[in-house]
Every structure is written in structure tokens, then in C-alpha cells.
Structure 1
Amino acid sequence: MSRDQLLWTAFRLLLLLLPSATADLAHKISVNSRGQFVDGFGRVRIFHGINSVLKQPPWYPDQMLNASRLRAYQDWGFNAVRLGTMWAGVQPRKDAVNATYLAVLSKIVTTLAEHGMYSIMDMHQDVLTSKYGSYDGVPRWLVDSFPPPPQPYPWPLPGPPTPSQWAEGYITWAVGSAFQYLYKNESGSLTHWANFWRSVASAVRTSDHVLGYELINEPWAGDVYNRPALLLPGVAGRDNLLPVYDYLTQVLAKEDPSRIVFYEPVTWSLVVGGTGSGGTGFDRLPGGPANANRSALSYHYYCWIVSPGDGIYPLWKRLACDALLLTRNLENAKEATAATGGGRFLTEFGLCAPTGQANATGTIECNEVLQRTDEEQQSWTYWDSNFTRADGSWNWDVVRSFARAYPMATAGQPVSYSFNLTSGRFDFAYQPDPKVRAPTVVFLPMSVHYPSGVSVNVTGGYTSRLEGNQLLVQPPSGTRRGARAAADTVVTVTVTRK
């Protein structure tokens, strides 16, 4: 082959590879120094989505393989699913791996990716085990190998909690001691836990739509009867959780080094807040500061003092929930990650569902969280994503609240964005970064909020074009890539209904 032929062959090969390389950049997600999720182009990414967890065999939600349902989710702007990835499903017996279950998880991840959705692989548990009245978030064979608790289950409760009061199981000494055994490697628990994550990462790491791995859902503090100081969230985080998270993070770094590790504090840590014995107890990231680009604090918000329903939301309850608890959760999550580095993601909120009544508890509570997360530029996944009525039809009262306009990918720094649920008006401002070689993408739920089309106004000479549900915003024609933008340059995007 001549030199000219060789160069031409290399050029054609480059042309063939460019689309794949461009797609890889778009899908590769990490965390920048500001704690924002960014893709390979450097665009700031926001995620809206749902939780999908099945707490019993076969341990996977088959609706995540339902193409028509996923198309609807995509049409509403959902680009993330926190997917129940169940330890008991992966390791049904000691030293046994269920390859069939892993194959199904991999298929779900692939199917979600085909519909534009990233997966957070969530090792879900609640009250740890079926041995103590729950389901097997941790395999029963492992819990059965732990020493017996100092007091039999359900001490100190007079009887087992009812299904609606399942969280009371955390009060029992049996559950607390089982968590302590888990954290302290009783019966080789940490080795088994690490093997679980090795198996999961090996099964899904080839997908470019795995956002990351969530080490454990809502960890309990440990044996609070033997050591009451563990009720202080900072003590539990520092002494029980962080050493375990260090170990598991190192394991995952060897299996899938580019993915984000999602880690949770005890659930009340962000209500207490502060440092030392308060707050998360994480004075550094799991695995150390070098993991800042692949770490994210996973946190939850629920207003446990009310049970939101269809009734009118009393002002005092709204103040307690939204002005106090929600504010503390959002602010303390921000402070925690500002101290350690890494990102943050509201991976659960709920106990609310819009009803179509403006003053109803569910309507106000859900819409308040959605509005506040817009203000904080926070990604979220909703629990438990019940968008259908009893007859299987879509519950449009719920859909309308969650199908929101938002900046899915920003080629620069977002300044602010807001969506008016009533009027459909969307306002967005950002500081452009001409070095980013990809457009800003604003998601618009056309079928839900803009059935007759949209009117768009973009300032700064930037242009826009609508492709399906995505509004692409680009710099003026002739702008040189990599040119320095003025520090005070702000592009605004306004979208209204026609």
C-alpha cells in the first residue's frame, strides 16, 4: 500500500470512528470541581427520573423492559432510573452467583439506554432482612450466619411492626446488631458484599449509560443499644459507614474505574446537619479526595411528620415540612459536599402525588420539592413513581407535575432556571463556554405542556432549533470554537406556549 493510500485509509477510518467517539463523549458522565455532573464535552448535566425497585423475587422490575412505558417516560423528560440491584438476587446462596439475574439487569440497563436513560445501580434494602420482618436486602444466608442478637427480635417492641409501620423495625436490637455485624465483617460480610459489587460491575460496565453504583440504600447506624453514641449521625458515618465505603469504593475502582460511586449517610444526618457528631460524619470522600470526580452524595427527603394525601395541606404542616425540613436537607447536602468535594443527587423523595387540587397536600408537597430542586439545580429520582391509575391509564395530574422543562445539558455554567407549571413558561440563563463543542440542550415536554407548539426567545445572538422534545441552543454562526467568552456573558432562553 502506498503512502497516499495509507493516509486515505486512515482518514476514512477516522470518519467512521467520529460518530462513536462523539457519542462516547456525550454519554461519559463525571463530576467536576464545582460538584456538577458533566459529560465528556464538558456540558453540565441535570437528571430527572424515577426509582424502580422490586423487593421480592425475581428482584427486578419487569416494567423497565416495557418499551411503550419507557417511551412515555422519555417523552416526559426522564433520563435516569435508580434501579434496584438486589444482593439476594445476585447471591442467592453463599459463593453462588445468579448469572440469569445479572443478565436481566444488563438487559434492563441496555433497554433504558435505548430510551435515553441512565441507570444508578442501587443496592436497595429496608430493615435489612426477612429474618426481622422485612425482605432480604442482604441475603438471608448471610444474616443467618451472624451471632444471635443480645435480645430476640422484636425487642424492645411489644410485637413485630405492621407492614405500614415497617420502619419501626430499625428500633429493634436485632436489626441494629445485624447492621453492626455487616459493617464489621462478621462471617466475611464485607468480602461477600465486595463480591456482589464485583459481579454487578462486571455485568454492566460495558454500557455507556450506567451513571454509577449506590453502595447501600438508607444505611442504619448500627448497634445503637450497645453504643448509643451511634445515634449521632456523625459518629455513625465516621465510625461505621466511611470505613465500609472506603473498602467498597476501592473494589469498584478496580472493576469499573470511570463510574460514579453514590454513597449515603444515615437518613437523619441532613436534618441534624453540622460537623463532628452532627451531619454526615464524612470528613472526606470514600476512597479519598482523588475520587472527587467519581463521587456523589446520595440523599433523601421525606416529610415524616405528615402523611400527605388528598386533604387540604395545613399551613403549619407545610411550614414544618417545606420551610424547615426540606430547606435543611437541601442546604446541609450542599454544605456536606462543599466540604468534601464530589457531587450530590436527591435519589429519593415522595410520600406525595399531585391530585389536580391546588391546595391538596400531595400537590403542594411534590410541586414544592420540584420547584426547589430547580432553584438548587439538583438532579432527582422520584419514589415511587406511580404514574398510573388503578385501571392502568396514565394519571395526568401526576405526569403534568413531573414532566418539566429543564436544561438537560448546558454548554457552560447554568445561572438559574425555572418552570411555571400553570402557564408552561420556562426561563433559563447560563454563562456560555465556547470551548464546549456541543449544543446546550433544553428538554421541553411537548405533548404534555406544549401540544400547540412553543415560542422561543434566545438572547446573545445565539440560535435555537427544536428537534422533537429537545431545544438545541448554539452560539452565533461563525463563532470560533475555543474563543474566550466575556466573563459577564449570559445567554437567556425563554419558552412559552403558543
Structure 2
Amino acid sequence: MRSTHRARLLAAATALLAVVTALTLGSSGNASADPEPVAGPTPQLQRDGRYLVDEKGRLVIVHGLNFVWKKAPYVPPNTPEGFTQADADWLYEHGFNGARLGVLWPGVNPTAPGVVDQSYFDKWDRVVDLMADKGIWMQFDMHQDMWHETYGGEGVPNWAMKRPAPFSLFPVLKAPFPFGYWTPEVSTVYDNFWANKNNLLDHWVTYWKQVADHYKDQPYSMGYDLINEPWAGLEWTSCILLAGCPSTYAKELQPAQNKALAGIRSVDPDNIVWYEPQQLSSGLLLPTHLKAVPGEQNLGLSWHSYCFATFAESTGIPVPLTESCKGFAKNRNNHALAQAAEMNAVPLMTEWGASDNIRALQIDAEAADTNNMGWLYWAYKYWNDPTTADTKQGLFHNDADLADVKADKLKELVRTYPQATAGTDLVYAYDSATGKFTMSYKADPSIDAPTRIFVSPITAPHGYTVTTSTGTVVKNGSYVDLTVGSAGVVKVTITPNP
């Protein structure tokens, strides 16, 4: 599949060849001194086996963040607290090449089913354009938590909030996140959604068609995340007790996401569509049961990893069991790879972290590196998140001040890693204590672009030394371009200068 897929990608990029060559490989064979992405159209990320690949055929590893403004107007404002040009510059300087953007249903269709508020897209387009100018790959996310503000969450328009009987006869029983999911009323609301009561599932598919139609040509798209942490409904206990509730997947979660996939494919045949497993699998060692879709080659598995020991600590429970998260992280990465293979999909860890527990973050990040797993950390800023166990999820003490960063956390997240690899058989490792990075891969000389590595400026403040077994190295700030003209195994070591 890989050679066929690459041929299609390279053919699509023929019109851009002159620009790409100017950006990456000059006539002397050296990489361009400017690591900034080229202006103009660039093909989106696609799936090739278990990897994301760019239009040049390089394996892309994503290290990014979540950007979800959960309260009206459901989009970060153009203020220092929200998202500005300074934020986009900061992301690029720190090597973050991915973003999960909460383009919420109540923002797209606030007044009635299928009625688009174009001003909402305009507000998001400002953010999207800033990120695209920095070459940041974006995943568009239908984010929801506990369905609606009525229950203390967010995610659906007011017109989609209908309290079911007999619960509507009594005051709303609210519980703090995430325990509100467990209440009979909220679980019934989800069951009604999966059953398409009041055509709500159909209206959700319409929302997705409108989002996909708007962003189908966005050059830095990596597709659509259909629904954040879907809740199983009243049978949620069976997800714990009965091998991950396979019947819920077969009867509710898979058919609903298949329906959204079909809707998206009617307007966008190319971008990745990301499925999510049921919510409890984010924090418990549970199997998931998503299946391949016949004829579909561009699926993604959007999976989350929240070790229960870390979560318990964040809620104030004194459970000093962080080291137990090593086994949890290993299991969840292995399971995601197996589930993605079952789905014929590419896996991406689209949520993890949400904590100031530095050791827990280190455990997750190292497990991801071991498995070549891309990730999107939760979250960039706190943004007054109403569905959080604590206020420790963002990267800053003060959202309006980029200088007021949590330095210890940033050291674990800003990692040396291969952003784009011109070859196969990738293996890499990074030591966040010393800053040393090692990497090996099998070069593919048919890829007319360099391997690009981001080097953490936090662990290499005085520069760094690159040693390779072959090829030409060009350093430009925190970015390294390695050009190899022949096949064979390439070994790379990057060491911070004293």
C-alpha cells in the first residue's frame, strides 16, 4: 500500500515541485536555510498504514496541543488570553506541529438544525490561518462533555437539549465532571442520541457535512474527530464488567460514526475521519471494539490516555501511585496500535496529560516515543474550562502571559523528535534530562525532501551537535534538515552543547 499511496501523493504534488524544491533542496544539494513552511496550497496529511504521511511521502510525527474554548462563543478570542499571532509564533518556536481545534456544534448551528452561523467559521478561520502559516497540522474536533451546559458540560446547541421524561418533571441533578455522565438522565440523553430520537443524530451528521465542506480544502488539515469521548448510555457499567461493552459498539457507536463518515464523504472524499472509542477506555484498561469500514482507506483512531492514579491525585485523593502509570501507558499504546490495525486506521493520542504531575507527563511522553505515537496534549491554556477535575491542565500560570509558563511541564513537552522522516523503520528516543536524542531509519531516496528533526531549545540552550552515519545536515535554529541520497539505514545522534 505504501508505494501506491506515495505515488498518488507525489503525483498530486507535481504542480508544487518547483516550490518544494526551493524550500527543501537547492541546486547544491543543501537544505534551505528557512525551515518555515512554504506559502500557498499544501496537501493535507493522509494515512499510510499506521502512519500519517505528508504530500512528499514522509512519515509525520505530530506533537501538538488541544484548543477548545468550551463556553460561548466557543472559539478563542483575538486577545492575549485567547489566541493571537504571538501564540502561533510561540507554538512554532517550541516545535508544536499539531492542534486539535474544538469547532463546536453550538457554534456552527446555534439557532436551528442545519442553519450555519458563518460568523463562527470566520472567527475560527482567523485562528486556522495563523496556525496554517506556521505549518501546524489541524484536526477539527466535535468536542462535547456531558452533552450540554444543562448538566455542567458543553457540546450541543440549545435546540438539541431536550430533557427526557420522567427526569424533566424534576430539577436537574448535576454532578461534577466526569461523574455527571453516570447519572440516569445524562445516560438516557446519550441513548436517545444514538437512537436518532427527534432526528438528532441526523442533525449531527448535517453539522459534520457543513464543517467538512468548509474545511475540506484547508492545506494543513489532518481531518475530522467525530465526537469527543462518546458515552455509552445507560449500559455504561457493562463497559467495565463485560469486556468493554462490544454490543454498544456494534449497535450504537460504530453505526453512528459510520453515518457521519458517509455524510462527510459526500462533500469531502479525501481527509482523514477520526473515530473515538467509548469514554471509559480513556482511563481504564478496557478493550475497544471499533471495526474497519469496507472500502474506506483514510480512517483514524483518536484515542485518549488518562492514568487513573494521576486522575485520582488531581481530584485531591492522596494516591501516590504515579509509577503504576508506566504499565498503563504501555498497555494503552499497545492497545491503540492493535485497535488501529483492526480498524485499518492510523492512531493518534489526541488527549493525555491534563496535569502538573511532571513524572506522569514524562511516563506518557516516553511511552509515545517508544511507539512512534503522535500526540495532542490536553491542553494549551486553561481557558476557564468548566469540565475539568482541576485547574492544572494548561501550560501557563496566566493564560494572557506567554512568559508565565510552567517551566517544568514545558521541559517534558518540548521534546526533540522527528517531525518528518524520509524513509521507513523509524526508531527514536529522547532523554528529557540530558537532551540527548537518537534516531535510526531506513532512507527512501525516492522521497525528494529531507528528514526534518526539531531540537528542543530548552535542553539545548547553547546549541547542539548532530552526528549522522550518512547524509548532509543543515541546521537552522531548532530545526535540522538531513538529506540522504541513497537507500540504507541512517543513524542520527543529537547532543546538546555544554
Q: Confirm or deny a common fold (TM above 0.5).
A: yes
Q: Give the distance between the partners of 2:15 and 2:108, measured in 1 at CA.
A: 41
Deviations 1:189-248 (A, max 9, x none): 122112211221222222101111110000000232899999943222221111011110
Residue in 2 aligned with 1:141?
A: 159
More helix by share: 1
Residue number among 120, 140, 143 corresponding to 1:101 in the alignment: 120
* Larger Rg, first or second structure (1 or 2): 1
| Rounded Cα–Cα distance in structure 2 between residues aligned with 1:314 and 1:402 | 24
TM-fit CA distance, 1:384: 2.0
- SS of the residue corresponding to residue 496 of structure 1 reads strand
* 2:296 aligned residue (291, 301, 317): 291
Alignment partner of 1:333 is 2:336: yes
Partner Cα distance (2:360, 2:257) in 1? 33
Give the unaligned 5+ runs of structure 1: 1-13, 354-361, 480-484
In the alignment, the residues of structure 2 paired with residue 302 and residue 117 of structure 1 have an alpha-carbon distance, to the nearest angstrom, of 25
Matched, 1:75 2:93: yes
Residue 271 of structure 1: CA displacement?
6.7
Residue number in structure 1 paired with 2:4: none
1:234 aligns with 2:246: yes
Q: 2:18 maps to which residue?
A: 18
* 1:184 aligned residue (195, 213, 231): 195
Q: Do 2:254 and 2:291's aligned partners in 1 also have CA atoms closer than 8 Å?
A: no
Cα distance in 2, alignment partners of residues 142 and 305 from structure 1: 35
8 Å Cα contact 2:42-2:219 kept in structure 1: no
Aligned equivalents of 2:16 and 2:308: distance in 1? 54
Return the alpha-carbon distance in structure 1 between the equivalents of residues 365 and 171 of structure 2: 38
Q: Gaps spanning 5+ residues in structure 2: where?
A: 1-13, 24-37, 381-393
Q: Which moved more, 1:253-262 or 1:404-413?
A: 253-262
Which of residues 455, 461, 475 is equivalent to 1:451? 461
| Alignment of 1:160 onto 2:174 | yes
Deviations 1:335-372 (A, max 9, x none): 1112221100000012322xxxxxxxx11100111111
* Gap change, CA 1:236 and 1:230, over 3 Å in 2: farther
Q: Which amino acid aligns with 1:416?
A: V
Supply the RMSD in Å over aligned alpha carbons.
Answer: 2.9
Are residue 404 (structure 1) and residue 409 (structure 2) matched? no
Cα pair 1:375 1:418 within 8 Å, conserved: yes
> Aligned with 1:259: secondary structure?
coil
Normalising by structure 2, we get a TM-score of 0.83
2:495 counterpart residue number: 496
Matched, 1:376 2:371: yes
Deviates more, 1:383-392 or 1:65-74: 383-392
Show the counterpart of 1:4. Answer: none
Q: Is the 8 A contact 2:164 2:185 kept in 1?
A: no
Shift of residue 378 of structure 1? 0.5
Matched residue type, 1:453? G
Q: Deviation digits for residues 418-464 of structure 1, max 9, x if unmatched?
A: 11111111111111111111111011133x222221111010x3111
Q: In the alignment, is the contact (CA less than 8 A) between 1:49 and 1:81 conserved in 2?
A: yes
SS in structure 2 at match of 1:166: coil
Identity across the alignment (%): 27
Matches within 5 A, 1:266-415: 266-269=278-281, 279-284=287-292, 288-292=293-297, 294-306=298-310, 307-308=312-313, 317-323=321-327, 325-353=328-356, 362-385=357-380, 386-390=394-398, 392=401, 393-415=404-426
Matched, 1:119 2:131: no
Change (3 A) 1:298 1:17: closer
Change (3 A) 1:124 1:236: same
Distance 1:261 1:414 in 2: 25
Separation in structure 2 between the aligned mates of residue 81 and residue 140 of structure 1, nearest angstrom: 27
Deviation of 1:272 (Å): 6.6
TM-score by length of 1: 0.83
Distance in 1, matches of 2:412 and 2:284, equals 30
Q: Residue in 2 aligned with 1:92?
A: 110
1:172 maps to 2:187? no
- Contact 2:44-2:221 within 8 A present in 1 as well: no
Residue 72 of structure 1 aligns to a residue whose secondary structure is helix
Using the alignment, how far apart are the partners of 1:16 and 1:412 within structure 2?
21
Distance 2:489 2:204 in 1: 48
Contact persistence 1:44–1:413 (CA under 8 A): yes
Q: Which has the higher contact order (CA 8 A, sep 6+)?
A: 2
Report the number of matched residues. 446
Letter in 2 for 1:299: W
Q: 1:337 to 1:452 in 2, by over 3 A?
A: same
Change (3 A) 1:244 1:153: farther
**What is residue 50 of structure 1 aligned with on the other side?**
65
2:225 is matched with which residue: 185, 209, 214?
A: 214
Verify the 8 A CA contact 1:406 1:442 in the aligned structure 2: yes
Secondary structure of residue in 1 paired with 2:295: helix
Shift of 1:18: 3.3
1:8 aligns with none
Shift of 1:85: 1.1
Instruction: Give the counterpart letter for 1:417 in structure 2.
Output: Y
Q: Evaluate the alpha carbon distance shift between residue 25 and residue 458 of structure 1 in structure 2; reply closer, same or farther with a 3 A threshold.
A: farther
Contact 1:262 / 1:298 at 8 angstroms: preserved in 2? yes
* Shift of residue 334, structure 1, vs aligned partner: 1.1
Cα contact 1:83–1:120 (8 A) shared by 2: yes
Give the whole-Å Cα distance in 2 for the aligned partners of 1:263 and 1:32.
Answer: 17
Between the aligned partners of 2:170 and 2:419, the Cα distance in structure 1 is 47
Q: Does 1:243 align with 2:255?
A: yes
Deviation track 1:25-57 (CA, whole Å, cap 9, x = no partner) reads 964311112x11011211100000110111110
Q: Cα distance, 1:89 vs. partner?
A: 0.8
Q: In structure 2, the residue corresponding to 1:256 is in which secondary structure? A: coil
